[in-house]
C-alpha cells in the first residue's frame, strides 16, 4: 500500500528532532533529508511535518523544564523555529533540493478561503519539486500550543493535498496492544483498519515531557487521514532508512489502512474542522435519515441547539446519546434554528417570516463522521 503511494506526508516528532531534548539532532535531520532525496529519485513527492520548535527553543534558552506560561511557550517556539528551519534548509540543500517553510494553524483549515490558499500553495510547491517543511504556528496562536499536536496537523495536511499515505515517525516501533514501557511482552500491532475502535484503548496515555501528543493522537490522526483514503504507518524514526524501505514495500511498524472511499474536497474540508460554532442534537429518526438514507437534515429532526452560530457556519450534529455523527453548514442561525426546530419545513416561512431553504443542512453541505 505504501509502496504504491505517490504523495507522502512524513511527520517527525520532537524527541527525534531534538535527540530527546538535548538539542537539534543535525545527524538525524541529515538522514531524513537523504531519505527524502532518495524518495524523490523514486518518483515520490514528500511533505515534511516537523515538531521540535519549542523543544529546540528551550534548549537554546537553556530551559530544563517546559514552561507553563503562554508567552514563554511562544517565545521558545519563535527562538526554536529559527534553528529548526536552518537545520532542514542546510541538509536538503546538500542534495540540491529547495525547501519551503509553511506555518499553519488549525484555523487555516477552518476558513474556506485560507484552506484553498494553503492547498494551492502546497500543490504548487510539490509541482516545483520543493520540499514543504510544515509546523504549527505556535508563536502566535495560543490554542494550538495548549491543545494541538503535529500528528493532527499532519493528518489535516494529508487530507488537504489528498496524499496517498501518512508516515508518522516516533520513538516507538509502532502501536502495541499494551504499553511496551510497562509490559516487556507487549505485542506490536502490525496491521489494522484505521477506524477500528479497539485501537484507542491500546493507544491510551500521554507522550513524553517534550511532546504534546502520545500514541493516541497518532491513532486518531490515522483515522482522520483515512477520510481522504490515505493509509498511515506509525514507525520508529530511528529505524535505518525507514522511509526508503517503506516506499520499497517493506513492512515496518504499524500499518493502519483506510477502508473508506475518499471524501470529496468540500466534504473533506467540513470533516477537517477541529472546532465548530454550535451543536445540534438530533432525534433517532433524523440520525437514521442521515446515516442510512443519505438525506438532508430538516428542522423537525432537531431537539436541542447549543452554542451561537450564524448562517453558513459549521455545526456539529450529535445523536441522542451525545456522540457526533455529522457536521455541516447551517442554513439558518442558532436563534432561527431554535425557533424552527421540531417543526416541519412547511412552517418555516410562517415562523421566521421568510424561507431560505427547506433544509437546516443540505446533504451536499453535510459530512458523516
Q: Does a structural domain hold residue 271? A: no
Structure confidence at residue 210 as a pLDDT band (50, 70, 90): very low
| 205, 236, 266 - which closes a domain | 266
Q: Which residues contact 110 (CB under 8 A, 6 or more apart)?
A: 273, 274, 275, 314
CATH number, domain of 172, equals 3.40.1160.10
Same domain (yes/no): 355, 254: no
Q: Does a structural domain hold residue 331? A: yes
Same domain (yes/no): 60, 38: yes
Inter-axis angle of helices 26-41 and 70-93, to 10 degrees? 50
Q: Does a structural domain hold residue 225? A: yes
- At 195, list the grid cell: 477506524
Looking at residues 101-115, what average pLDDT do you find? 83
- At 365, list the grid cell: 453541505
Q: Does a structural domain hold residue 22? A: yes
CATH number, domain of 324, equals 2.30.130.10
pLDDT at residue 145 greater than cutoff 90: no
Q: Does a structural domain hold residue 2? A: no
Kind of pairing between the strands at 7-12 and 191-193: unpaired
Rounded to two decimals, the pTM is: 0.83
Q: Which long-range contacts (CB under 8 A, 24 or more apart) does 75-80 make?
A: 77/53, 77/138, 77/139, 77/145, 78/139, 80/52, 80/53, 80/54, 80/55, 80/56
Q: Which residues contact 147 (CB under 8 A, 6 or more apart)?
A: none
The tally of domains found in the chain comes to 2
| 266, 293, 318 - which closes a domain | 266
Cα(271)–Cα(314) distance, integer angstroms: 10
Could you count the other beta carbons within 10 Å of the beta carbon of residue 97? Answer: 17
Q: Does a structural domain hold residue 150? A: yes
Cα(44)–Cα(32) distance, integer angstroms: 14
Same domain (yes/no): 208, 262: yes
- Cell numbers 515496518: residue: 252
pLDDT one-digit tens code per residue, 40-55: 999 999 999 998 888 8
Looking at residues 300-324, what average pLDDT do you find? 94
CA distance readout (Å), 68 to 62, 65, 145, 151:
16, 9, 10, 21
Q: Does a structural domain hold residue 127? A: yes
- Cell numbers 412547511: residue: 346
Domain that holds residue 361: 276-368
DSSP per-residue letters across 61-107: TT-SS---SHHHHHHHHHHHHHHHHHHHHHHHHTTT--EEEEEE-HH
Window from 240-249, 337-346, 350-359 with minimum mean pLDDT: 350-359
pLDDT one-digit tens code per residue, 213-236: 588 999 999 999 998 899 999 999
Could you count the other beta carbons within 10 Å of the beta carbon of residue 137? Answer: 21
pLDDT one-digit tens code per residue, 149-175: 789 899 999 999 999 999 999 989 999
Give the chain's mean pLDDT. 89
Same domain (yes/no): 102, 182: yes
Same domain (yes/no): 202, 315: no
Same domain (yes/no): 287, 245: no
Same domain (yes/no): 246, 282: no
| 220, 243, 266 - which closes a domain | 266
- At 162, list the grid cell: 489528498
Per DSSP, what are the bridge partners of residue 361? Answer: 297
CB of 318 closer than 8 Å to CB of 340: no
Supply the DSSP symbol for 272: T
Q: What is the C-alpha R_g of the chain?
A: 22
DSSP per-residue letters across 298-311: PGGGEEEEEE---T
* CA 140 to the chain's CA centroid: 19
Amino acid at each position: 500500500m505504501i509502496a504504491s503511494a505517490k504523495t507522502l506526508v512524513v511527520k517527525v516528532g520532537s524527541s527525534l528532532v531534538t535527540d530527546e531534548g538535548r538539542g537539534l539532532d543535525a545527524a538525524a535531520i541529515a538522514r531524513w533529508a537523504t531519505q527524502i532525496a532518495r524518495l524523490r529519485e523514486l518518483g515520490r513527492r514528500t511533505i515534511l511535518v516537523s515538531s521540535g520548535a519549542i523543544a529546540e527553543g528551550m534548549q537554546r534558552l537553556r530551559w530544563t523544564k517546559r514552561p507553563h506560561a503562554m508567552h514563554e511557550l511562544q517565545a521558545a517556539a519563535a527562538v526554536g523555529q529559527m534553528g529548526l528551519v536552518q537545520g532542514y534548509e542546510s541538509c536538503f540543500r546538500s542534495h540540491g533540493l529547495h525547501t519551503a517553510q509553511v506555518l499553519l494553524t488549525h484555523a487555516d483549515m477552518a476558513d474556506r478561503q485560507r484552506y484553498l490558499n494553503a492547498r494551492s500553495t502546497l500543490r504548487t510547491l510539490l509541482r516545483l519539486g520543493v520540499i514543504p517543511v510544515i509546523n504549527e504556528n505556535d508563536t502566535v496562536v495560543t490554542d494550538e500550543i495548549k491543545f494541538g499536536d503535529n500528528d493532527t496537523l499532519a493528518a489535516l495536511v494529508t487530507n488537504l493535498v489528498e496524499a496517498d499515505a501518512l508516515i508518522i515517525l516516533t520513538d516507538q516501533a509502532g502501536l502495541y496492544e499494551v504499553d511496551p514501557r510497562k509490559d516487556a511482552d507487549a505485542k506490536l500491532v502490525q496491521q489494522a483498519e484505521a477506524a477500528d475502535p479497539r485501537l484507542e484503548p491500546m493507544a491510551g496515555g500521554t507522550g513524553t515531557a517534550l511532546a504534546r501528543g502520545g500514541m493516541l493522537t497518532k491513532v486518531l490522526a490515522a483515522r482522520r487521514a483515512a477520510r481522504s483514503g490515505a493509509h498511515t504507518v506509525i514507525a520508529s524514526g530511528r529505524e535505518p532508512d525507514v522511509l526508503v524501505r517503506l516506499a520499497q514495500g517493506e513492512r515496518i511498524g504499524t500499518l493502519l489502512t483506510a477502508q473508506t472511499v475518499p471524501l470529496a474536497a468540500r466534504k473533506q474540508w467540513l470533516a477537517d474542522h477541529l472546532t465548530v460554532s454550535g451543536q445540534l442534537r438530533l432525534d433517532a429518526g433524523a440520525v437514521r435519515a442521515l446515516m442510512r438514507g443519505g438525506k438532508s437534515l430538516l428542522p423537525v429532526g432537531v431537539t436541542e441547539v447549543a452554542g451561537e452560530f450564524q448562517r453558513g457556519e459549521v455545526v456539529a450534529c450529535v445523536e441522542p446519546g451525545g456522540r457526533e455523527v455529522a457536521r455541516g453548514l447551517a442554513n439558518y442561525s442558532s436563534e432561527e434554528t431554535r425557533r424552527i426546530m421540531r417543526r416541519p419545513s412547511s412552517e418555516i416561512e410562517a415562523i421566521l417570516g421568510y424561507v431560505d431553504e427547506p433544509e437546516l443542512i443540505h446533504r451536499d453541505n453535510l459530512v458523516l463522521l
